[in-house]
């Protein structure tokens, strides 16, 4: 018996099954069997009354108990109180079936809502199962399995084939493929090798990889996602807050109106007391705000859950709702619209005694010990045949470049100021590119000579033009770019992408001031979103109506300051998130309009004694179920990338 009571209290589906087990026989006793055996009508009446009463007790006892607790806490104007007094009145009038049906269908509606909510939450809660509890770490010359929370930054970790990454790591040895779909929604596996960063929760597909731990468990990407997702579920949008405030005032108004409907017609117009009592009870059942209170938050939670499954972390219903109203979107340049990596676009050889291969080889030799962005770009430009020259005595020239020498000559690689210090006039180059000059100096001669110019530029991401077009289709009216890079570079790339505005040579405080101008001048009822990735973007991400951080390359500070985090680190996620947010807003508004319209219609019908308790039940539970089903459409639709 104790097990039965425990399951009855904790399992709503269990209660529904037992309530149906009593309610269905009650329908048979009251509606079906009297047709075939009318002579036993009194027996059927008693059996149906007992069946409906038992169904009411099984389904309604938790509701009545909750109403009693709320009355004791002086918070009695709730849906539980409304249903309790309405069903007590129905039983007083002899409407046992209607009273049981109200409680039974309320339980069904609550169960359907909880199932939909659980499925919406699943994409977030499943993240907690992605990272393994233990890790294989090299300690004392052996691989040891230890708790992931005990692994320290810098330790060496072995990631076996088929295992998930427990912490954020960098591959130091091995080549293989990983599946990032659980975090990013990206279906295709990604090839990795030494130097590549793997986020916690990533699945290693093929071969064992030796990795270096970059972050502790608490600071890992997956832990941050789970933490921020938990916070997101607590942050309500303006529509949700409005519905909550509406429900607080709505319930006492409904109760007062029901009392007036019961008293005024019989007192002043000679109406029948029992008839108007029944109508007032119908009003109480009709007016339960379940559809509004449940379906609107569910819509936003479903939108947040779907976005999370697509690698888009939205921090709460307020961010989701506001993002839908974005009409102005401003992008940081480097690392956001561009790769953030310098690439050698052109090599101009200026001395006929040298070939392109030779000058590139000299430049690589000069930069062989450097980790500077220019050195990395030269290495990515390709391997050149080694020269017969062996440079030594490499010297860093702060703010200028680097110097090296062989037995006969000195070689310099650096900027225009370095060339000027050598008495050389740097040739004019494309202002949209960075120029690095290679020069040679003979100690026996006074004049150095210029050997080559390397022209470098940051690459625009391949996906950027398509994303800009998608945002135009989604009615983003103003697209802009802000950067600390040279204005000439920013202007060229902004025009190539078809942006409406741009600004360069900006320090973080300049970006902030520029963004404040956009916020002050935005059209009424619209939002300004800012997309950035670096720590210098943190102030702008914080002040924007919606701050969007590129998580993979972004700093922790940027991720914390943002309202939305693109775990996928792909620009294509932005129009997808915008489509999800707008769809969510539309469904939330549909639920509000649909629920109010049906309830108003049924109230009018009830006042004219059209319908009865059964149509009141539909207006309450039926509308709630329909609104919940409507909210679930957000999750059912998967392809939001093409939704305009």
- Distance (Å, whole) CA 299 – CA 541: 26
Strands 410-414 and 527-532: unpaired
Residue at token pair 């010297």: 395
332 has catalytic annotation: yes
Report phi then psi at 397, rounded to 5: -110, 95
Instruction: Please calculate the CA angle 437-441-447 and round it to the nearest 5 degrees.
Output: 100
Query: In angstroms, how far is CA 104 from the centroid of its own chain?
Result: 36
Of 195, 214, 210, nearest to 151 by C-alpha is 214
Residue at token pair 């059927």: 44
Strands 134-139 and 142-147: antiparallel
**Residue 440: beta bridge partners?**
411, 449
From the candidates 318, 332, 458, 563, which is the catalytic residue? 332
Compute the residue count for the chain.
Answer: 644
- Distance (Å, whole) CA 446 – CA 448: 7
Report phi then psi at 215, rounded to 5: -140, 150
Of 556, 457, 492, 526, nearest to 224 by C-alpha is 556
CA-based diameter of the chain, in Å? 130
Distances (CA, A) of 134 to 127, 128, 150, 174: 16, 14, 9, 21
Strand, helix or coil for residue 460 = strand
Of 189, 187, 161, nearest to 174 by C-alpha is 161
Q: In what order do the strands lie in the sheet with 203-204?
A: 190-192, 176-179, 203-204
- Distance (Å, whole) CA 567 – CA 221: 9
Q: Give catalytic residue positions.
A: 332
């Amino acid at each position: 018996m104790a097990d039965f009571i425990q399951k009855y209290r904790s399992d709503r589906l269990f209660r529904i099954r037992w309530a149906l087990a009593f309610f269905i026989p009650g329908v048979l006793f009251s509606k079906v069997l009297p047709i075939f055996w009318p002579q036993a009508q009194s027996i059927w009446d008693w059996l149906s009354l007992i069946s409906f009463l038992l169904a009411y007790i099984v389904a309604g006892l938790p509701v009545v108990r909750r109403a009693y607790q709320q009355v004791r806490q002086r918070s009695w104007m709730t849906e539980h109180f409304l249903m309790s007094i309405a069903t007590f009145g129905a039983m007083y009038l002899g409407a046992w079936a209607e009273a049981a049906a109200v409680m039974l269908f309320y339980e069904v509606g609550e169960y359907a809502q909880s199932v939909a909510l659980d499925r919406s939450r699943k994409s977030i809660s499943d993240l907690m199962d992605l990272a393994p509890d233990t890790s294989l770490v090299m300690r004392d010359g052996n691989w040891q399995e230890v708790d992931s929370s005990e692994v320290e930054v810098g330790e060496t970790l072995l990631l076996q084939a088929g295992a998930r990454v427990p912490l954020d790591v960098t591959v130091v040895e091995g080549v293989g493929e990983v599946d990032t779909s659980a975090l990013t929604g990206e279906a295709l596996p990604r090839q990795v090798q030494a130097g590549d960063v793997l986020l916690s929760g990533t699945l290693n597909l093929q071969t064992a990889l030796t990795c270096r731990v970059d972050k502790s468990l608490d600071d890992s990407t997956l832990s941050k996602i789970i933490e921020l997702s938990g916070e997101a579920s607590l942050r309500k949008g303006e529509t949700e807050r409005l519905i909550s405030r509406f429900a607080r005032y709505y319930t006492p108004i409904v109760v007062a109106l029901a009392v007036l409907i019961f008293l005024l017609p019989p007192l002043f117009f000679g109406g029948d007391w029992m008839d108007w009592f029944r109508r007032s009870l119908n009003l109480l059942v009709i007016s339960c705000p379940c559809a509004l209170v449940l379906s609107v938050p569910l819509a936003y939670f479903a939108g947040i859950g779907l976005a999370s499954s697509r690698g888009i972390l939205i921090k709460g219903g307020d961010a989701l709702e506001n993002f839908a109203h974005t009409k102005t979107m401003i992008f940081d340049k480097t690392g956001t619209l561009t790769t953030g990596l310098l690439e050698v676009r052109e090599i101009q050889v200026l001395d006929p005694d040298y070939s392109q291969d030779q000058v590139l080889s000299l430049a690589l030799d000069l930069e062989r010990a450097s980790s500077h962005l220019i050195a990395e770009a030269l290495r990515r430009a390709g391997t050149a045949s080694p020269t017969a020259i062996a440079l030594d005595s490499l010297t860093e020239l702060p703010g200028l470049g680097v110097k090296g020498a062989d037995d006969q000559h000195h070689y310099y690689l650096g900027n225009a100021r370095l060339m000027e210090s050598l008495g050389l006039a740097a040739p004019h180059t494309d202002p949209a590119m960075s120029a690095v000059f290679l020069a040679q100096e003979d100690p026996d001669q006074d004049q150095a000579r210029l050997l080559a110019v390397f022209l470098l530029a940051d690459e625009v991401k391949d996906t950027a033009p398509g994303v800009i077009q998608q945002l135009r289709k989604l009615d983003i009216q103003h697209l802009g770019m802000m950067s600390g890079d040279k204005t000439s570079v920013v202007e060229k790339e902004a025009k190539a992408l078809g942006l409406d505005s741009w600004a360069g040579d900006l320090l973080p405080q300049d970006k902030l001031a520029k963004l404040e101008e956009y916020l002050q001048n935005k059209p009424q009822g619209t939002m300004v979103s800012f997309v950035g990735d670096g720590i210098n973007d943190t102030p702008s991400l914080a002040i924007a109506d919606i701050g969007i951080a590129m998580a993979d390359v972004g700093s922790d500070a940027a991720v914390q300051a943002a309202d939305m985090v693109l775990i996928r680190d792909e620009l294509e996620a932005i129009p997808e998130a915008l489509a999800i947010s707008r769809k969510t807003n539309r469904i939330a508004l549909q639920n509000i309009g649909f629920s109010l319209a049906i309830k108003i219609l049924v109230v009018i019908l009830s006042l004219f004694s059209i319908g009865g308790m059964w149509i009141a039940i539909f207006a309450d539970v039926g509308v709630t179920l329909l609104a919940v089903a409507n909210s679930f459409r957000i999750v059912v639709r998967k392809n939001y990338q093409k939704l305009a």
